[in-house]
């Protein structure tokens, strides 16, 4: 993603990490469900990408020029790439980040930093990527194609 899309994505991840601290806690244990969800999203995006690859829309998208990306096909490719990389990295992070990284005690208040902090950013990041990819996909189906 480029420009405003990229800025919006990183702001979403940062704010959802902060908000996620109060929504989820260290007792969250649905990581296997999240990995399943991410695996389904990855498979769905790869399938839709393969359908688009074999579509006559490819030429139409390549011919439509836009700023920042060059063509609509390049923009859609960029969204797919960003989305798939984010989802694969998210799965890897869910496997390698320990339950509790560190516990900081400030006066009588304990702050535990661990894997649960990435739950909300992953969920909202996946929704954001899904929206960007499929908004473009639904938008391009209004373009006429030559069979």
Structure tokens at 105: 């005690």
Note the Cα 31 to chain centre separation in Å.
Answer: 17
Does residue 94 belong to any structural domain of this protein?
A: yes
Does residue 19 belong to any structural domain of this protein?
A: yes
Confidence of residue 73 (pLDDT cuts 50, 70, 90): confident
Q: Give the N- to C-terminal CA distance of the chain in Å, as an integer.
A: 30
Q: How many domains does the chain have?
A: 1
pLDDT tens digits along 13-58: 999 999 998 898 888 888 999 999 999 999 988 998 888 888 777 7
Does residue 38 belong to any structural domain of this protein?
A: yes
pLDDT tens digits along 77-86: 888 999 999 9
Q: Give dist(CA 87, CA 16) in Å, integer.
A: 16
Structure tokens at 127: 């929704």
Range of the domain at 110: 3-140
Q: Is 54 exposed, middle or buried (CB count within 10 Å of its CB: 0-12, 13-18, 19+)? A: exposed
Structure tokens at 30: 């649905």
């Amino acid at each position: 993603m480029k420009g405003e899309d990229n800025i919006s994505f990183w702001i979403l991840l940062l704010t959802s990490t902060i908000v996620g601290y109060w929504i989820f806690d260290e007792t969250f244990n649905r990581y296997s469900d999240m990995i399943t969800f991410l695996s389904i999203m990855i498979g769905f995006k790869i399938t839709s990408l393969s359908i688009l690859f074999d579509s006559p829309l490819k030429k139409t998208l390549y011919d439509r020029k836009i700023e920042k990306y060059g063509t609509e096909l390049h923009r859609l490719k960029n969204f797919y790439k960003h989305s798939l990389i984010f989802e694969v990295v998210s799965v890897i992070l869910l496997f390698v980040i320990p339950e509790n990284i560190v516990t900081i005690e400030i006066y009588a208040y304990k702050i535990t930093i661990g894997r649960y902090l990435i739950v909300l950013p992953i969920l909202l990041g996946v929704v954001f990527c899904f929206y960007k990819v499929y908004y473009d996909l639904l938008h391009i189906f209004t373009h006429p194609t030559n069979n």
